[in-house]
Homo-oligomer: A and B are copies of this chain.
Amino acid sequence: MDLYIDRTELIRGLARVQGVVERRTTNLALAHVMLSAQGDTLSMTATDTMLTLVAGYKARVQSEGELSVDAQSFFQIARALPEPTVHLQSIAGNRLQVRCGNAQFQVVGMGAESFPPQPASTEKSSLSIDGSTLRRIIEETSFSVCTDDNRYGINGAHMEEVKTADGSRLRVVTTDGSRLSYSETPFLGEFGMGRRMLLPRKALSEIRKLIDNDKGTWHVVFGDRSATLKTDDLTLMIRLVDGEFPDYRRVLPDNSQRRVTVSREHFTNALKRVAIVASDRNHSVRFAFESDRMVLSARNVDLGEAREEVPIELSGAPMVTGFNVKYFQDILSATKSDQMILRLGDALDPCIIEMPDRDDSLFVVMPMRLD
């Protein structure tokens, strides 16, 4: 391998793969980035066996070849290089020679044969989705995905195609047992993810990070047990998690008894303050819905008490119940509308949170018994 590449392109590629690289691993290859020079491209590949990311950028390749080096150290070196052009060469003993201005490194590496092979890519169907829409969907669902990997069936995001009057929508649904979120969008192409497959949690956060830098159109290709997301420069291959997502439609309550309209700003600021005191394990806050206001209160033996009044419009009878304040904070920071609607049944019924100006997302939060 012998090539010249722009330092900015090298840094960009190495930055992208850092999220996939496993730092604490006994398998050295998972901490490495594989450099592969072919044609006029340097591909940088990292994998944790579940996710595999390939970032490919233009390079002047003198001699093709492959070599893997420690991803974190090489990224550190790349960012510190003095000149705009970097010369990379594989030298004896699987070493990578890096030359740039007066700086010279010989980085310990491994041959390509030690790096895990790329997963076979099957292609059953594919669809396209705009980067900013993909980001919204992930932001509105990723916070409520179950973090316990042993919870079969909910330890990942469920994806499905939903038929509406206007045509098909792609819907992503997540739950951790105490709350549920879904978010959807129209799409171009054909949805093809298996019914008993989930998108792993780490994939959601990786996609979210990659979108920030590649805002264009994303192509999603569905394979047998995989999904692959592609932009011009990036290919993220995701091994799907096996698991049957619960029939969440049966648990969606049909709340029509009480309807609360509240300003996002007032609600957010009041929650921020009661949350300081509601710092026990359950973050429990008392919600008293009155005709024109909602009184939030929390209590903590060590810290004291907090009380907030938030103006609301309530249709239905007054009621008192309790919620985990963090669940509402997560929803408010994942959404943007000026007003929020809470639909409530009785004190121990779940609460539905919606936005009056949107029909493409919905949140459910389970209540807490107040002591």
Q: A interface vs B, CB < 8 Å? A: 70, 73, 76-77, 80-82, 95-96, 102-108, 269-270, 272-273, 276-277, 301-310
Contact = CB atoms under 8 A, between A and B. Distances in A.
A104 B306 contact: yes
Contacts of A102: 270, 308-310
Contacts of A304: 95-96, 105-108
B81 A273 contact: yes
Contacts of A80: 269, 272-273, 276
A303 B103 contact: no
B305 A82 contact: no
Contacts of A305: 105-106
A178 to B, nearest CB: 25
A80 B279 CA distance: 15
Given A81-B273, A106-B305, 11 more contacts: A77-B276, A80-B269, A80-B273, A95-B304, A102-B308, A102-B309, A104-B308, A105-B304, A107-B303, A108-B303, A108-B304
Contacts of A76: 276
Which 6 A/B pairs are nearest by Cβ-Cβ distance?
A: A107-B304, A102-B309, A108-B304, A106-B305, A104-B307, A80-B273
Contacts of A70: 302-303
A107 B310 CA distance: 21
A207 to B, nearest CB: 30
A127 to B, nearest CB: 43
A289 to B, nearest CB: 16
A11 to B, nearest CB: 14
Nearest to A105: B306
A242 B151 CA distance: 59
A276 B104 CA distance: 12
Nearest to A99: B307
A306 to B, nearest CB: 5
Nearest to A301: B108
A304 B94 CA distance: 11
A119 to B, nearest CB: 29
A82 B306 CA distance: 14
A104 B272 CA distance: 13
A330 to B, nearest CB: 18
Contacts of A104: 306-308
Nearest to A271: B80
Contacts of A81: 273
A193 B191 CA distance: 78
Contacts of A277: 105
